[in-house]
Amino acid sequence: MKSLFNSKYSEPSLSFGLLVLRLALGGIMLNHGFDKLTHFNQYLAMFKDPFHMNNTISFGLLVFAEFFCALLVVVGLLTRLACVPLIIAMGVALFMAHKGHIFSDGETAAIFFFGYIVLLFTGPGKYSLDKAIGK
């Protein structure tokens, strides 16, 4: 109980916190991505292309970020690199789809956006494949 009021931190507790953050952000996003992957054509029909490239390409990139990059975040492999597409995807969701309304309908996208930014700067912590293979 005394450690809750202490301003010092330890490497194991910091790494455990990053593990929890990776599992939560990546796991929830993985679920969204898996749903989009398994129902690709249904979601594609409703998808509005934010970059006006090609609906299929833009949606494919979103699925890549939400499923494959989220999977990398969960296991802690190439974590910083995997966060970049997720930050872009959540940035588009927050600033284009939700018009930057952080405190209303864009709240969930904002939480993911800033969470992935935290992981980009901190890295995955020691409880990760990145650490295990020495990256």
Q: Where are the domains of the chain?
A: 15-127
pLDDT of 7 above 80: no
Backbone φ and ψ of 32, nearest 5°? -65, -45
Taking residues 99-117, report their average pLDDT: 93
**18-27 per-position pLDDT tens digit:** 999 999 999 9
pLDDT of 3 above 80: no
What is the spatial distance between Cα 100 and Cα 110, in angstroms, rounded to a whole number?
A: 9
For the entire predicted model, the pTM comes to 0.90
